[in-house]
Structure 1
Amino acid sequence: MSTRCGFAAIIGAPNAGKSTLVNAVVGSKVAIVSPKVQTTRMNVRGVAIKGETQIVLVDTPGIFKPRRRLDKAMVAAAWSGAGDADAVVLLMDAADLAEHPQGHAARDTDAIVEGLKTSNRKAALALNKIDAMKHAELLPLAEKMNATGVFEQVFMISALKGDGLADLTDWCASKMPEGPWLYPEDQAADIPSRLLAAEITREKIYLRLHDELPYATTVETEKWEERKDGSVKIDQVIYVQRDGQKAIMLGKGGATIKKIGELARQELEEIFGRRVHLFLFVKVREDWADKREHYREMGLEFPEE
């Protein structure tokens, strides 16, 4: 039997559950997750295997109406991931859309559907978080989306609980073209270790801090030093935009940054399977979100304005 391999892009409005879905299908942590919108900033590739088929799942940033330069770069990355893919899955937070039919997510999703129509792109629709709503609420939503003519198939899933994921994975596998696998069988993700380490630290910032501060932050791995004892020393810089944000990031007596470092180090040791010495430094750089080099570090194209 010949092998198959291709790309399946998971797109959707912010906070639809795309990263949770990719992690669940892959079976290990590939993308960072937090309850905040716009946690994912770049396309992250996770690798799933179904029989003789290798599916490279592309977790994309949420698509919304961008205002800042960083927002524009994230949305451009999402559409680029969809354009290059062999299959596209539009993931919707069905519970949120049923409760807030005129909300931000509904408007963002409508715009995504229009974008798919304009590009003449067929997709699968995955209605997520069905465990949080009644079945009777799902049908009108499915019918409305079906009427757009964009979707080949509709799946009702819970990315968190794993419901319906086997059927969705089968559909993705059926769309993959014949060809050799791109990754070894035991590789779950395609992301450089330095970038993954920075993303894990950024996830802990999103989970520990609130309001606008996480969005005013970026993390860069400045140094990666292999030790003779098999451990690794990682130096990271957390950039913020104002002195007041730096004070919050550090916390009283350095308590907040210490906790962020502890949580990040513990997870990095689990991921890399070895001891990690993590050192975090907080620096103020007011215009980091307008500097080309920071976009390169994040794996994003720099949008000219």
Structure 2
Amino acid sequence: MIGHHGYPYRTDVKVRVESAWSSIELYDLLIMMFDVHRHLTMPDTRVIKLIKHLGEKVHSKQKRVLCMNKVDMVEDKKDLLKVAKEFADLPGYDKYFMISGLKGSGVKDLIQYLTDQAVKRPWDEDPTTMSEEIMKTISLEVVREKMLDHIHQEIPYVIEHRLMDWKELRDGSLRVEQHFITPKPSHRQILIGKNGSKIGRIGIEANEELRSIFKRNVHLILQVRVARKRNA
């Protein structure tokens, strides 16, 4: 599987994509959101194909919504009507929304629609607690988010990210160890930063957020290493 950056997706990314597709039918409502400004300036055939694929037929057990984001960046608003018309004949979408996540335009209408669709029913799990598996997933997502905040190149897409160890200590705190595995030594150096400044900042910010989410002390350990070369 090749990303837009030209590099192959690493195992963790591929697994997440496959997991998302395998669970797409499980939800009562699906939002297909795309960048309408990019669609008008640099249309991507893959995105167009996906929009049409998800909207080609009505799903009796699931409502689908087409959401055009970043309308604030479109200077000629008539262009928005052209895009709406382009996808108007897709029966699979129950509603169409034009929003600006940055400016807030149209967001209230989307929220109201989602609220109206909500169904009261018993929780599948206790809403006041988190399972260990959910906590592990959250820890990976938080750390990866902080990494993306600090590295604005395409290098993150070729970095493998693993949870190596998870322990609850006697005092109730958590010891969490995660590794970043880079394909090249140069990528490792970029992620580490001068004198460890970059990976250190990522760790500090992620640790603070995890403590806030889990309501307990977290000892986050991050390591960066280069992938071993496979024998030919």
The residue that corresponds to 1:116 in the other structure is: 54
1:263, distance to aligned residue in structure 2 (A): 1.9
Kept after mapping to 1: 8 A contact 2:34/2:68: yes
1:132 aligns with 2:73: yes
For the residue of structure 1 that corresponds to 2:87, the secondary structure is helix
1:255 aligns with 2:193: no
Which runs of 5 or more structure 2 residues have no equivalent in the other structure?
none
Among 141, 145, 149, the residue aligned to 2:91 = 149
What CA RMSD, in Å, does the superposition of the two structures yield over aligned residues?
A: 3.5
Q: TM-score, normalised by structure 2?
A: 0.77
Among 102, 110, 122, the residue aligned to 1:168 = 110
Aligned partner letter, 2:69: N
Q: 1:285 to 1:187 in 2, by over 3 A?
A: same
Alignment of 1:18-37 (within 5 A): none
Alignment of 1:183-262 (within 5 A): 183-184=125-126, 192-262=134-204
Q: 1:185 to 1:235 in 2, by over 3 A?
A: closer
Q: Distance in 2 between matches of 1:77 and 1:137?
A: 35
1:254, distance to aligned residue in structure 2 (A): 1.8
- Number of corresponding residues: 223
For the residue of structure 1 that corresponds to 2:23, the secondary structure is helix
Kept after mapping to 1: 8 A contact 2:57/2:92: no
The residue that corresponds to 1:272 in the other structure is: 214
Q: Distance in 1 between matches of 2:9 and 2:159?
A: 14
Residue by residue over 1:36-61, the C-alpha shift from the partner in whole angstroms, topping out at 9 and shown as x without a partner, is x89xxxxxxxxxxxxxxxxxxxxxxx
Q: Distance in 2 between matches of 1:190 and 1:164?
A: 37
Aligned partner letter, 1:113: I
For the residue of structure 2 that corresponds to 1:158, the secondary structure is coil
Query: Which protein, 1 or 2, shows the higher relative CO under an 8 Å CA cutoff with sep ≥ 6?
Result: 1
Kept after mapping to 2: 8 A contact 1:95/1:133: yes
Which runs of 5 or more structure 1 residues have no equivalent in the other structure?
1-13, 15-36, 39-65, 289-305
The residue that corresponds to 1:62 in the other structure is: none
Kept after mapping to 2: 8 A contact 1:239/1:282: yes
Structure of larger gyration radius: 2
Q: Distance in 2 between matches of 1:130 and 1:188?
A: 37
Kept after mapping to 1: 8 A contact 2:164/2:179: yes
Q: Distance in 1 between matches of 2:152 and 2:185?
A: 16
1:68, distance to aligned residue in structure 2 (A): 4.8
1:215, distance to aligned residue in structure 2 (A): 0.9
1:195, distance to aligned residue in structure 2 (A): 2.0
Residue by residue over 1:133-174, the C-alpha shift from the partner in whole angstroms, topping out at 9 and shown as x without a partner, is 343332221122213333221112233444433432443455
For the residue of structure 1 that corresponds to 2:123, the secondary structure is coil
Q: 1:200 to 1:250 in 2, by over 3 A?
A: same
Kept after mapping to 2: 8 A contact 1:88/1:124: yes
Q: Percent identity?
A: 28
Kept after mapping to 1: 8 A contact 2:173/2:217: yes
Kept after mapping to 2: 8 A contact 1:225/1:234: yes
The residue that corresponds to 1:303 in the other structure is: none
Kept after mapping to 1: 8 A contact 2:10/2:160: no
Residue by residue over 1:239-298, the C-alpha shift from the partner in whole angstroms, topping out at 9 and shown as x without a partner, is 22223322222222222221221221122222223332221112222589xxxxxxxxxx
Q: Distance in 2 between matches of 1:99 and 1:190?
A: 44
Aligned partner letter, 1:273: K
Q: Distance in 2 between matches of 1:146 and 1:118?
A: 11
1:73, distance to aligned residue in structure 2 (A): 4.3
